[in-house]
């Protein structure tokens, strides 16, 4: 190793930064985060440095650096744009045995700053030894995506309860096994959601059970929105939960690419629904989720789009709450937002649409009679119809019958956001015939309103079908 990776405790210790520019500001922020008592020496300084000095948070000396200025500090950073000055700072620091960092000059450094992932008290540092700071930042980004933002909450919870767990479980091996299970169990998940008090209660209950040599039920359910299809549109939390799940109960609209992100040994249960044909009735799905969790499984109920937008998520969590099963809901990008964006159709626009309405294209009884047609034909709004492929002719006819102009723009999007996306644009009068001629199949989304006409200017995403020239776009 060219450098020994260490973490320095700098709280309340005197540290010096020479330089007052943007680079100095960045290093100043790191030292303040570490609790250091910072002095800045610079002939001139950025406004933010001056403000911090005025507030008494740092000491600012407006002067040219001299060798004697380095005395009395525990760490020094040279951050000027003058190599001669930086070299003088390094020489003075070494004369007094003070570690020094010279920005962008590895040959003058005693230590270097890594790229940092801060989940205090958890810290992860990444370094290329000064060879490529950009590469270090890229690695940091990849690692950061794998570490939940509230990981520090989990670490603090473990620290706060460490002694109480030791007393409850005195045998070291049993205690280690307890922590291994707990840090991947419901208590950990509650902590990562920011629910620290609940996490503490669940953890202590688990410790008491372990002390009685009982294995508590570790099961939980996460209702996870898988988004409209593109795996890159998953939230970070959704991806983490999918990869941790013991069982995944998934819908028809969940893509194979997203399912492939799960563990190889995870059990997969298909619970998809198609028009007039359900693989598992909804009441049975509700009971299945509760039973799987009661067996101790980490269950992910994976739904296309968002669980709470035409996803029956509310019905499922009612059952979980009644059974006392721990659960969470992870929102996903709903089809309206994702498909419209990939089709180049803004759902709202100052000149065309001041509101957006989501409706289901078929209701429980299989008819459209309960839709508020007078409201749906209002101008200056966008109407998005989910599950409307089969009812498209009736939808367009009813809108026209209730006063919408036959020339109002309308679009149908098939398999939006995926490489097989297909977009048809027309009008209320002509869209049904265009769709019939194109042989469209579900999943689809219908968008109605003046914003559809903007697609000609704003379309940016080219799917495989469009690239091959077979999309039939209007």
Q: What's the Cα-to-Cα distance from 288 to each of 238, 269, 281, 299, 439, rounded to whole Å?
A: 21, 10, 10, 10, 36
Question: In sequence order, what are the residues at sequence separation of 6 or more whose Cβ sits closer than 8 angstroms to the Cβ of residue 356?
Answer: 336, 347, 348, 381, 382, 383, 384
The answer to whether 296 touches 217, Cβ cutoff 8 Å, is yes
Q: How many CA atoms lie within 13 A of 352 on its CB side?
A: 17
Question: In sequence order, what are the residues at sequence separation of 6 or more whose Cβ sits closer than 8 angstroms to the Cβ of residue 138?
Answer: none
Instruction: Find the catalytic residue in 104, 118, 273, 420.
Output: 273
The residue among 336, 275, 332 whose CA lies nearest residue 301 is: 332
Instruction: Find the catalytic residue in 251, 303, 306, 422.
Output: 251
Q: How many CA atoms lie within 13 A of 418 on its CB side?
A: 21
Virtual torsion, Cα 347, 348, 349, 351, nearest 10 deg: 110
Cα–Cα distance, 74 to 72 (Å, whole number): 7
Annotate 389-407 with DSSP letters as a single string. Answer: STTHHHHHHHHHHTT--TT
Is 273 annotated as catalytic? Answer: yes
The residue among 386, 384, 418, 358 whose CA lies nearest residue 233 is: 418
Is 372 annotated as catalytic? Answer: no
The answer to whether 465 touches 422, Cβ cutoff 8 Å, is yes
Catalytic residue list: 251, 273
């Amino acid at each position: 190793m060219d450098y020994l990776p260490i973490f320095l405790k700098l709280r309340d210790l005197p540290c010096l930064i020479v330089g007052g520019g943007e680079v100095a500001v960045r290093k100043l922020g790191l030292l303040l985060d570490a609790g250091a008592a910072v002095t800045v020496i610079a002939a001139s300084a950025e406004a933010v440095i001056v403000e911090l000095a005025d507030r008494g948070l740092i000491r600012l000396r407006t002067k040219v650096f001299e060798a004697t200025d380095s005395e009395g500090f525990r760490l020094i950073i040279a951050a000027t744009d003058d190599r001669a000055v930086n070299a003088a700072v390094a020489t003075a620091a070494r004369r007094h045995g003070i570690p020094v960092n010279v920005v962008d000059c590895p040959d003058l450094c005693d230590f270097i700053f890594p790229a940092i992932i801060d989940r205090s008290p958890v810290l992860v540092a990444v370094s290329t030894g000064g060879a490529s700071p950009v590469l270090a930042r890229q690695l940091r980004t990849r690692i950061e995506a794998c570490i939940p933002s509230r990981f520090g909450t989990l670490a603090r919870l473990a620290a706060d309860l460490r002694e109480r767990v030791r007393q409850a479980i005195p045998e070291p091996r049993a205690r280690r096994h307890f922590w291994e299970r707990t840090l991947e169990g419901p208590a950990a998940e509650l902590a990562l959601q920011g629910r620290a008090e609940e996490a503490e209660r669940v953890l202590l209950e688990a410790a008491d059970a372990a002390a009685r040599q009982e294995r508590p039920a570790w099961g939980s359910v996460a209702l996870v929105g898988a988004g409209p299809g593109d795996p890159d549109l998953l939230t970070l939390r959704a991806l983490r939960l999918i990869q941790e799940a013991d069982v995944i109960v998934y819908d028809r609209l969940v893509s194979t690419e997203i399912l492939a992100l799960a563990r190889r040994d995870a059990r997969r249960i298909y619970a998809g629904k198609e028009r007039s044909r359900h693989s598992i009735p909804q009441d049975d799905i509700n009971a299945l989720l509760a039973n799987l969790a009661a067996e101790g499984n980490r269950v992910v109920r994976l739904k296309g789009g968002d669980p709470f937008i035409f996803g029956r998520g509310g019905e499922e969590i009612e059952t979980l709450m009644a059974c006392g099963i721990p659960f969470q809901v992870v929102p996903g990008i709903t089809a309206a937002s994702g498909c419209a964006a990939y089709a180049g159709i803004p759902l709202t626009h100052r000149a065309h649409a001041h509101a957006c309405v989501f409706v289901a294209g078929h209701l429980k009884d299989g008819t459209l009679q309960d839709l508020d047609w007078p409201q749906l034909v209002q101008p200056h709004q966008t109407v998005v119809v989910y599950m409307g492929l089969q009812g498209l002719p009736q939808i367009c006819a009813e809108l026209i019958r209730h006063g919408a102009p036959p020339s109002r723009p309308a679009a149908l999007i098939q398999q939006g956001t995926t490489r097989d996306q297909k977009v048809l644009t027309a009008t209320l009068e002509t869209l049904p015939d265009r769709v019939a001629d194109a042989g469209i199949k579900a999943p689809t989304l219908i968008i109605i309103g003046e914003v559809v006409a903007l697609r000609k200017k704003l379309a940016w995403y080219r799917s495989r079908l469009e690239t091959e020239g077979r999309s039939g776009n209007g």
